[in-house]
Amino acid sequence: MNAMNDLGSLADLPTEYVEALASHNLVPLWPSLRGVLPPTKPRPNTRATHWAYKDIKPLLLQAGELTPIEKAERRVLVLANPGHGLDKMQASAAIYLGMQLLLPGEWAPSHRHTPNAVRMIVEGEGAYTTVDGEKCPMSRGDLILTPTGLWHEHGHDGTDPVVWLDVLDLPIIYYLETSYHVNGDAQTTVPGRGDRIYAHGGMAPTRMFVRGSKPYPMLRYPWDQARAALLTLSQDNPQEPSVQITYVNPETGTDVENILGFYAMMLRPGQTLNMPARSPACVFHLIEGQADVAIEAQKFHLVEADTCCAPGYTPVTVTNRSSSQPAFFFLADEAPLHRKLGVYEVRA
């Protein structure tokens, strides 16, 4: 047997020795070495998982009947990955997902917290999020940021329920023992709409006398603009198989937040796209259309507002089931974190 793989176990050690180690808060490495440093590639706990919106929505609406917003503060059903255990409330090692409901006339009070968050609007009109004093209206497919440390609250002036997908880096922030929140008072809305100032690519404000002070100058990324960009990208690059845009900070060109990455992707009618195995886990949320997502031996059929998760180091194949209409996805992954840590990989 290869000596490198012939590692001893705790059972090989005298009980008295193991007990002596434990009494001094010591643990032998060699019995667990292959567990924490497996050969060739990691063994992720994240499993390929599908959350169907048709299953979530009635339970979310029932939550609205059972629990008033005053008791819930944030009325959310967490999309938990069974590979991590439902009690861990995480979709992957660094991604938390939750479907949040806001009913007409409700207000979710202002707070701020250390995890970064974004909201991908699933359905409904008339709601808004106020972030750092900027009022961001919510429409289907819009991406709204609530970065670390910024005050934010949600309100609803419309007539129908509004649902959105929360995506946070909560698992990694919690693991680092840096997760906390602070409650605050209702915000005063201030002038400014970053989504209008930066509405056109290649154009940024010229600040002749005063430097910009906002680390997150654009908080709302409207879906109509993202959708139009994808359609144009597809038309301008008909031979390019991947039609995808990255949500970026318009002042720096970097990812909109510093731990998770966010993207919009389009599949042409009838298209199948083979995505390579990459180190970060990835979440797929279908905004428009119908599509299949194949992750190793599993295949999920997604309709609008469905969500699924693929573990890292795993190839993914996505297929547009329609031969006449494009399909549009919102994607979230751990790529910015992996790049910062120097562990980002793409495998053929």
Does the structure show a pLDDT above 70 at 333? yes
Separation between Cα atoms, residue 292 and residue 284, nearest integer Å:
11
Does the structure show a pLDDT above 60 at 45? yes
Q: What is the pLDDT of residue 202?
A: 86
Domain boundaries along the sequence of the chain: 49-196+210-347
- Closest to 35 in 3D by CA, of 43, 27, 25: 43
Q: Report yes or no: 327 and 272 within 8 Å, Cβ to Cβ.
A: no
What pLDDT, in 10s, does the model give residues 133-157? Answer: 999 999 999 999 999 999 999 999 9
Q: What is the pLDDT of residue 4?
A: 47
Which residues make beta-bridge pairs with 308? 50, 284
Does the structure show a pLDDT above 90 at 2? no
Does the structure show a pLDDT above 60 at 190? yes
Does the structure show a pLDDT above 80 at 7? no
Q: Please name the CATH architecture into which domain 49-196+210-347 falls.
A: Sandwich (2.60)
Q: What is the pLDDT of residue 6?
A: 64
- Closest to 113 in 3D by CA, of 184, 181, 211, 190: 181
Average pLDDT over residues 171-188: 97
What pLDDT, in 10s, does the model give residues 51-102? Answer: 999 999 999 999 999 999 989 889 999 999 999 999 999 999 999 999 999 9
Name the band, by pLDDT with cuts 50, 70 and 90, for residue 1: very low
The CB-based long-range contact list for 176-181 (8 Å cut-off, 24+ gap) reads 178/114, 179/113, 179/114, 179/115, 180/113, 180/114, 181/111, 181/112, 181/113, 181/114
What's the token pair of residue 176?
A: 């680092």
Q: What is the pLDDT of residue 348?
A: 77
Does the structure show a pLDDT above 80 at 5? no
Q: What is the pLDDT of residue 252?
A: 92
% residues pLDDT > 90 (the chain): 89
What mean pLDDT, rounded, does the chain reach?
95
Q: What is the pLDDT of residue 3?
A: 43
Does the structure show a pLDDT above 80 at 209? no
pTM score of the predicted model: 0.95
Q: What is the pLDDT of residue 91?
A: 98
